[in-house]
Homo-oligomer: A and B are copies of this chain.
């Protein structure tokens, strides 16, 4: 098996799980998950056969779920939960489910909510933890945001581990995106260096759905659902004026999943501009010409643009970083808006431009039904894995099965829209947008 995909463990599991399920098939009761159960990465029959014929073990992920024997003794276990980075629908659902599973399934009674992200671990910030119980978290899933608060940016790893030691924490659930998980990996490594028995469990949170080897991240569906509604509004704005042009800027720093999915859900969109695509504005195949042709034919147009698209237009500013260490991007939406206005004015086409930047609106609402369910199951599986002594891992989802994988794999690179895949092709079919808006050189 590919060693890179083996999840680290703290040691041998010798304690009988308090969970009452089964070990035999056919008795109508769910079974404990065996350590060797794994989920295939690629469901292509040809690929799997080819791998096996070559003597290769096909790429796979550990299957998540409750274990018959666990590592931590529930009565003595102390748990911390922290939420980092930007808001995302479902944060409270995840917190709630971690607390409820720890409390009701494992009878763990000491669960601490760290306030305002990793900053809450730094003593000088003077941020008390919150004791979490089922009563306290009972209704939080109806609220957007995070009941623990959040912050961007990492904090000194040694201070975080000092705090974990001081509080005698056994399990830390770190709910956050790429930066947070890199931070969690550093914490995991420091813990290993100090030879501590603390499990670091990552629950990936990325509204952009851009975590590697993870099919779907919580909150993403809620987010593109909200985006769909805003695109519908924008469509009415575009149609409401002669040569009306509506531009909606959507989240998506490096990956255009929100824009692509929202456009598939809302058939009103005519053009989708995402970070993964190269395109020209000018020239015979360029976007401005394509746009003009449509405008002269239909007299209205709706454009969805991901915030990270077209950064090649802003080469000079690439070195600026924000608090999380992310590259600061220029505003592609305003850039395109101004370029369209300039171009159409130049060719004498009257028009009416409406620019909509819903920004935080996409991320601060509560989770929708499907995300609520997903958050519940993610948290459930993260709890079982952590209690079984897994560490340095994230819980994920692949081919509709819940999986565990090393943080290092999840953060190795960002998942992006593959322009050669069926998602993007469906977007092209839905919008009628050309395969390429690039002039040949």
- Which chain A residues have a beta carbon within 8 Å of chain B's beta carbons? 20-22, 25-31, 36-40, 43-46, 48-49, 52, 57-58, 60, 63, 65, 87, 96, 100-101, 104-105, 115-116, 119, 127, 139, 141-146, 149-151, 215, 221, 224-225, 228-230, 232-234, 236-237, 239-242, 244, 246, 261-262, 264-267, 352, 354-361, 364-365, 368-370, 372-373, 376-377, 380, 399-402, 419-422, 424-426, 428-430, 432, 435
Contact = CB atoms under 8 A, between A and B. Distances in A.
Given A267-B376, A364-B236, A420 B149 contact: no
A24 to B, nearest CB: 10
B264 A376 contact: yes
Chain A: interface secondary structure?
mixed
Nearest to A143: B236
B116 A28 contact: no
Contacts of A376: 264-265, 267, 426, 430
- A-B interface, 9 closest residue pairs, ranked by CB to CB distance from nearest: A145-B236, A30-B425, A225-B369, A144-B236, A233-B364, A265-B369, A399-B399, A264-B373, A38-B45
A264 B100 CA distance: 13
A420 B356 contact: no
A390 to B, nearest CB: 17
Contacts of A139: 139, 143
B60 A45 contact: yes
Contact of A221 (B365, B370, B421): B370
Nearest to A367: B265
Contacts of A420: 22, 25-31
A40 B48 contact: yes
Task: Count this chain's copies in the assembly.
Answer: 4
Contacts of A100: 267
A396 to B, nearest CB: 14
29 contacts: A21-B435, A26-B420, A28-B420, A36-B46, A37-B44, A37-B45, A43-B401, A48-B52, A101-B429, A139-B143, A141-B267, A144-B232, A144-B233, A145-B236, A145-B240, A149-B241, A150-B240, A221-B370, A228-B372, A229-B369, A230-B361, A233-B365, A261-B373, A356-B359, A358-B358, A358-B361, A361-B361, A380-B429, A400-B400
B27 A38 contact: no
A356 to B, nearest CB: 5
Given A361-B233, A372-B266, A145 B48 contact: no
Nearest to A87: B240
A366 to B, nearest CB: 9
A431 to B, nearest CB: 11
B225 A370 contact: yes
Contacts of A31: 420
Contacts of A30: 420-422, 424-425, 428
Contact of A419 (B28, B38, B355): B28
A86 to B, nearest CB: 8
Residue among A139, A240, A354, A380 having the largest count of chain B Cβ atoms under 10 Å: A240
Contacts of A401: 43
Contacts of A430: 376
Contacts of A421: 30
A424 to B, nearest CB: 7
A265 B372 contact: yes
Contacts of A45: 37-40, 57-58, 60
Contacts of A261: 369, 373
B141 A241 contact: no
Nearest to A240: B145
Contacts of A127: 242
B221 A369 contact: yes
A238 to B, nearest CB: 9
A399 B101 CA distance: 27
Given A44-B40, A101-B429, A370 B372 contact: no
